[in-house]
Structure 1
Amino acid sequence: MGRHIWGKTVGALVLAVTVAAVSGCGSSDDSDGKPAAKASPKAPSVEKATAAFQAAVEKFDADGGCLEQEPGTCWEQMQAVMNPARDLRKAANADKETGPEFWSEAYALIDTMEDGIAVGEDKGVPAGGATMTNRDDVLGSAHDLSDWLDENPVA
C-alpha cells in the first residue's frame, strides 16, 4: 500500500513539472520558445583593423618594447598586440574583395601569434637569448605582420 501512494506522489510531481515546463511557467522569458539569436559583433573594416594593429605595434616599439628579460614582465604588451591582430583576422575573414588567398600569409603570422599566446604567460628571454620563446612567436610575428601589411596595402 505504501508503494502505491509513493508511486502516485512521484507521478503527480512529474506531471506537474511537465505541465509547468510546457506551459512556460518555469521561464521568465517572454519569447515564443525559440532561443534568442545572439548578435555577433560586426567585424571592423580591414582599413580600421589594419590601422589599429599597426598602431599597437608602433606603441609597443615607442614604449621601448619588452624592457625586462624576466618571464612575466611582458605579458600585457603581448596581449596589447594580440587583441588587434584578432580583430584584423575578423576583418580579413569578412573582406569579400581580396579573399582568403590574399590573406594567407597574414593568417599564418596571426596563427603563430596565437600559438605564442596559447602558452598562457610570458616566458621571458632565456639567458644568452640563444633559444626562442613565445615572445618571439607573438612579438616577432607581429612585426612581420606589420611589415606584410605595409607591403600589401588594402586601402
Structure 2
Amino acid sequence: MGRLLWGKVTGTMFLAMGIAAASGCSFDAKDARAPSARKPRTVSVQTATMRFQDAVAEYDMTGCESHQPGTCWEQMLAVIKPARELRKAMHTDKSVNADAYRSAYALIEKMERGIAVGKDRRALEYGNGDDLGAIAPPTNRPAVFGSAHELNDWLDEHPVK
C-alpha cells in the first residue's frame, strides 16, 4: 500500500510540474524581489527640469525652419519626452503641495494635446503649398513648441530647490 500511495503522489507531482512548465510558470530569484525593487526609479524634479530645459535649448539651436508638414516631428518628440519625465518627477515630489505644479501640468497637457495629433501638421498641408488660411486645420507646432517655451519660462520663474 505504501508503494501505491508513493507512486500516486510522485505521479501527481510530475503531472503538476508538466502543467506548470507547459503554461510557462517558473520561479526565478529575480522575480522574488519586492515589488518596490522592480519599480523604475523616478529622477528628481531638479534633474528632470535640467533635462527639459536642455531639450528646449537644443530645439532653439537647431530649430525647425521649414514650413513643410512633417519636418518637425522628431523635434516635437525630442521636447515631449523630457516634459513627460518632468511631469512624472513633479508627481512623485512630496516636498511641495500638489497645487505648486498646477501651471506646469497645464502646459505639459497642452503639449500632449499637440503631440496627440500623431504627426507634425501645418496649415499648408492640405493644399499645393499655398496658405489655406481659415479653411486649413490649425498647426500643432505652437501647442508643442510654444507651450515648451512657456514651461521653460515658468521653470525659470519657479526654480526647484
TM-score, normalised relative to structure 2: 0.74
The aligned counterpart of 1:110 is 108
| 1:125 to 1:54, Cα distance in 2 relative to 1, 3 A | farther
Amino acid at match of 2:93: D
After superposition, what is the alpha-carbon deviation per residue over 1:52-99, rounded to whole angstroms, capped at 9, x for unaligned?
A: 000100110011x21101110000000000000000001100111113
- Quick one: which amino acid aligns to residue 51 of structure 1? M
C-alpha displacement at 1:23, in angstroms?
5.4
What's 1:60 paired with?
59
Measured after TM superposition, the shift of residue 41 of structure 1 is 1.5
Cα RMSD of the aligned pairs, angstroms, is 2.7
The answer to whether structure 1 residue 30 and structure 2 residue 13 are counterparts is: no
Look up the match of 1:47. 46
- In structure 1, the residue matched to 2:71 is 73
| Aligned position for 1:10 | none
Residue 138 of structure 1 is matched in structure 2 by: 144
Q: Which amino acid aligns with 1:109?
A: L
Deviation at residue 30 of structure 1 after TM alignment: 1.6
CA distance in structure 1 between the partners assigned to 2:156 and 2:138 by the alignment:
25
Residue identity in the other structure for 1:61:
D
Cα shift at 1:25: 3.1
How many residue pairs get aligned? The number is 136
C-alpha contact 1:89 1:110 (8 A) present in aligned 2: yes
Aligned 8 A contact 1:82 1:113 in 2 = yes
Q: In structure 2, what is the Cα distance between the partners aligned to 1:41 and 1:82?
A: 19
Give the drift of 1:128.
7.3
Segment drifting more, 121-130 vs 95-104 = 121-130
Q: Does 1:153 align with 2:127?
A: no
Counterpart AA for 2:81:
N
Give me the identity figure in percent.
Answer: 46
| Secondary structure at the counterpart of residue 51 of structure 1 | helix
- Contact persistence 2:113–2:143 (CA under 8 A): yes
Deviations 1:76-132 (A, max 9, x none): 000000000000001100111113200000000000100111110000244277774
Unaligned 5+ segments in structure 2 are 1-11, 125-130
